[in-house]
Structure 1
Amino acid sequence: MVEVALRHRFDHPGAWRSSRRDGFTLDVAFAAPPRGVTALFGPSGCGKSTILAAVAGLLRPQSGRVALDGAVLLDTAAGICLPPERRRCGVVFQDARLFPHLSVETNLRYGLRRAPRDAEGPGFEEVVALLGIGHLLARRPAGLSGGERQRVALGRALLARPRLLLMDEPLAALDAARRTEVLPFLARLRDAARQPILYVTHALEEVDALADHLVLLEAGRVLAEGAATEIAARTDLPLASRRDAGVLLDCTVLAAPGGGLARLGFPGGELVTTLHPGAPGTRLRVRLRARDVAVAVAEPHGISTQNVLRATLATITPAGEPLEVFLRLDVGPSQVLARITRDSLERLALRPGMPVWALVKAVTFDHRVAAAAAAPP
């Protein structure tokens, strides 16, 4: 487990790149699980990168404590502040920061040379295969695309066999095509990593694709933390005001496209999609946007929408807009959000506890690969 509690005030702008305002104060406390990705998510300037710098030892906060599996990296009250090289944190920045005069292979082996002799972790060949960079080994960084450079940077950090991986918006400098290229490799790395990962981002699609745990930040404070699927479904947080607000469903491909459609199973039901999410057994996470879900009080017939889910209306909450509300729908053990007008709420006489049907168009699904490998048969 990663335990973080930090307090630091910046009296001058530019003291750290994510905190450029006079009087900015970071005051946070959270705990990250011992495995998987913990995403630090929030708008620019909320303190995400400052937290990573303090954990890595690149910034000494005025007060705080950082511990990894019980080992104290920082405790200002006790006078403990390990230097960065003793913290064994692998850091990946927005820019790959590879050695330009060295080949890809030599860059990677530099990370391996930094690993303690008794440290356990993946070997050179395993990392190269994991990140799909075998064909790049003889090249130099100048001959790589942005996405390829980031994959090499990830490999170098992993080969140092850190106890903790820190990623500071590693995809922010890439265009949409390169981000799409790198995301599946990040997912594979997450599943193969034997250490926790702190991942800084302000891109919700990266949270959807990678995050197991989510720390939601605003103006140097923690608004909420917990499982990414739970935080996404909360209507009392700023995430609910976004156009893409909705729930995350962990799905498994049940059948490959037939007649142009694929079936996805989730706890409580099935969905069909026109997209091609992978072979049967592939696990995915799907963002189901609240604005793309309609409700009916009687089972609909003779409609083009194929995703009709029997549900129970659990709660009705304000949606931020005066003329809209959120409906929380229980679909078996899973939850779905629908965003409708107050006029529809009154016209349909909707109330908690009543049975309803949730209607979702297949074309609205946002697919994010949650695991690269298909599940065993």
Structure 2
Amino acid sequence: MYCLNDKQIDFILGDISARGIGMVSLQQNLLDHICCIIEQDLDEDGDFEHFYQQTVSRFYKSELREIEVEAINLLTHKNYYAMKKVMLGSGAVSSFLLTVGLILKFGHWPGAAVCLVLGIFILSFVFLPLVFTLKIKEQKSNREKAVVAIGALAASLICLWILFKIMHWPFANVMSLIAIGIMIFVFLPVYLFTGIRNPETKTNTIVSSILIIAGCGLVLTLVRSPAGTREQYAMNSGNFFRNEMILKSERNQGSPLQNATEKNIFSLCESIKRFLVFKETGSNEISADFESKGQLLGDSSAAMHFSSSTEMEKEIAELCDNIEVYNKGIKSGQQPISLARTILKAPEKKVTDALNDFVQIQMIVLQNQQKPIASR
């Protein structure tokens, strides 16, 4: 059994203080624990300094100051460990949901959208805010806290951008540009200025900054430019306008619809098309000079528009019923209206695809009506 003298005890206390432990009560507790271990385990003729270094290293992972940080968190933030558990749990759940969602998405199995939405939602609104809350408490300077806050905000916006993109919700590209703008013009300068001043973190800061710039650049390659977006929207409107002209010509060349079911299908398709066009452009129809009037069809989800109108949901259900009746009454040589892969069975389609589906349904009705006439 080893017996410590006053000089050795003072050495231990001084070393504890030098290692970043400022709380007197914590210093005394650590001193008591370390002294007890040394006196109990060290041989009488053992090497005190070597054994002390081995003993004190048991109390931390990186540095002894961790104990004081943990103690302060326990004293000032009573929910610290509960928040930490929720953070880890939410991170694991979001990762699991994203993994399952991606597997389902690539396999074209049901449930992919639900898993992806929940996974990104938990990641953006539970995990990242908790990471920000816990990390900001560990930072001392306001500059370091600002880095954490800006980084968490940019990360959340990037996650939400991906969610909006895969769900075909509006403002996805705008959100991505805002997130990347915050990352490049706000987060990066603060992070670079903070880290490069410290010789210990200088290299890592420079490397991380290069990776951030490269990552943002790669993301921007996936984002359509404003000019490209307008050109694509104009192309969408042009395609729909031409389809409408072909449909109108086809109807003028044939005889008027006689069957009530055919009339219902045709009128319901027209009503739903007008609704979608109005939601996208503010006009009931696309005119020949659509570009000058700003009648541009975007990439919005048709389901998003339908969910905002109970009347449209009723019309879609009515259209499905009429198509079912129509298919049962078609004659030999006529083409049935297939609902597979159409907006009526795949509501996650874009507005442009939905409009094309309704035009095709109307074309089938017109062509079937003309077949008996042509065969006479």
Q: TM-score, normalised by structure 2?
A: 0.21
Q: Which has the higher helix share?
A: 2
Structure with max Cα Rg? 2
Q: Which has the higher strand share?
A: 1
